[in-house]
Amino acid sequence: MRIWKKNRAGGPSLAPVQCANPHMDGYASAFSAWGAEGSRRLYRALRQAVPIIDASLSKLARLIGEFTIRCNSPQVEERLNQFLQQVPVNGCQYGIQNFISGYLDQLLTYGTAVGEIVLTGDGSSIGALYNADLDEVGFRQGASPLDLQICRRQASGDLVPVPYPELIVTAALNPPSGNYQGVSILSGLPFVSDILLKIYHTIGVNWERVGNVRFAVTYKPSGGEAEQVYARERAEQIAREWGRAMQAGGPVSDFVAVGDVNIRVIGADNQILDSNVPVRQMLEQIVAKLGIPPFLLGLSWSSTERMSSQQADILTSELESYRRLLNPAIQRICQVWLLLHGLPPDCTVCWDNITLQDEVDLADARLKNAQAAQIEAQIGKEELSHG
């Protein structure tokens, strides 16, 4: 029994998805849309409030590295790479590298990234690349859960499918099962960041109080009748003189009082809580979530050279996974350019090695493999000669 049919283009279409609810409409509902918009505002505020989070995402976007495109024809490869270096991006930048940096930054921050290939007026080539604002884009399920419709959000909130979806590139970071949109790398950090910000706010308030020292001036009249009668007048006089002596911006002056006058600093006996341990605990949670080695963020935590090397290797694997998410968008852009110029859409994305240490490790691995092959060949010759 044949379970697939041909579509209008002549190719095979997919059979219905059996595990999906046909009445579900993806993220098209108003509740889901506004919930996603609220999450994006939260993540933007989180990057502004906690500098280490913003620095981590910026470093990931820069550490992703550069790439070149390989084609079967050297002439086509040169033309394509030249175009990618000069293509306008977002109206104020040039080069696909800037487009990919913004694309990855959006992917990490919000879990979903959307970009558009903008054609020239006559449709003969690619005119620009555009990083779309997720607040202006929506997703809707088509005829099948595997059919993703990318829509433009109108002022009324309605979703209208874009007329040319083949010119849209999108990616999702760790999307939950059955969902279109990905999960932000910042998911789970609002609670931890809220605690961290409370600690910082408390430290600021305490230092504002400690830095602007407040004094308690106590006047104790003696048991004499005359002092008790004029105690109020003497207290007011002491207050005036103390205010004059402590006047901000005025000349340094002494305070002279008669009688039993006690002066002490308010709060001097109290000890400010040590914030090193809780702050480090919160930062450890943030660093663990973002996958950035602490030494790249200026955190001088105790670590050995071997541990730093292992952390760098883990970061390399993280960047490799992000590169795999970016490859489809890069290939789509290159294939559209090749097809518009009447060329076969055969191209491969070749990334540069992430660090010079990777070059050294790869060269060392090739050297050891060559030495092992040479030793094995020599042993084989000796066995043949003895046989």
| 145 neighbors 202 (Cβ within 8 angstroms) | no
User: 189: exposed, middle or buried (C-beta count within 10 Å: 0-12, 13-18, 19+)?
Assistant: buried
Neighbour-count burial of 108, counting CB atoms closer than 10 A to its CB (0-12 exposed, 13-18 middle, 19+ buried) = buried
Using CA atoms, how far apart are residues 308 and 293, in angstroms rounded to an integer? 8
- Are 126 and 340 contacting, i.e. CB atoms less than 8 angstroms apart? yes
Render each residue's pLDDT in the chain as its tens digit; 387 residues.
333 344 444 445 667 666 665 555 544 433 344 457 778 888 999 888 888 999 999 988 888 888 999 998 999 999 999 999 999 999 889 999 999 999 999 999 999 999 999 999 888 899 999 999 988 888 887 777 777 888 888 888 788 888 998 999 999 998 888 777 888 999 888 888 888 888 888 888 777 776 667 777 777 777 666 666 677 777 778 777 777 777 755 666 666 676 777 777 766 666 667 778 888 888 888 888 888 888 777 777 765 555 566 666 778 888 888 999 999 999 999 999 999 999 998 899 999 877 645 556 666 777 888 888 888 888 877 777 776
Give which of 290, 317, 334, 298 is closest to 192, Cα–Cα: 290
Supply the angle between the helices 30-49 and 51-63 in degrees, to the nearest 10. 100
Give the number of other CB atoms < 10 A from CB of residue 149.
19
Residues 6+ apart with CB under 8 A from 216: 263, 264, 265, 266
Burial class (CB in 10 A: 0-12, 13-18, 19+), 196: buried
- Single out the residue of 293, 327, 298 nearest to residue 312, CA to CA: 293
Judge residue 14's burial from the number of C-beta atoms within 10 Å of its C-beta, 0-12 exposed, 13-18 middle, 19 or more buried: middle
pTM of the model: 0.73
Q: Where are the alpha helices (DSSP H) in the chain?
A: 30-49, 51-63, 74-86, 96-110, 189-211, 225-229, 231-245, 276-290, 305-340, 356-386
Among residues 218, 213, 217, the alpha carbon closest in space to that of 248 is found at 213
DSSP structural state of residue 270: S
Q: What share of the chain is helix, strand, coil (3-state, %, to 5)?
A: 50, 15, 35
Q: Which two tokens mark 205? A: 């308030």
Contact 321, 182 (CB under 8 A): no
